[in-house]
Amino acid sequence: MFRITKNSGFQITFENGYTVSVQFGPGNYCLNYDCEIGKDEIACGRKGSKNAECAVFDSNGIFIKNPISGEDNVSSCSTPKEVLSLMNWVSSL
């Protein structure tokens, strides 16, 4: 399943029930962090970002520890390579 989230990114839910959230809009932990929430989402979507905030949820919507973020549930400034690695890890759970 794929979802667009508030014009700030997307989520992918895998067959195993785990979801990866990739966010790169205003206020997210990425290059677009300082953009204005509620105003700059479309502009950020058009220009994109070289990095993104990522999180992983289980089938109950509860955060699980994100291996690319160390001790936190949410990673900041994840590169495309790190996002792909995270998605591969989550799909194998």
Return the structure tokens found at 6: 């508030």
Report the distance separating Cα 35 and Cα 43, nearest Å: 9
From first to last of its 93 residues, the chain has per-residue pLDDT tens of 999 998 899 999 999 999 999 999 999 999 999 999 999 999 999 999 999 999 999 999 999 988 877 767 899 999 999 999 999 999 999
Task: Say which residue the tokens 């070289």 belong to.
Answer: 50
Strand partners, 2: 12
Per-domain residue ranges for the chain? 2-91
Report the distance separating Cα 47 and Cα 59, nearest Å: 32
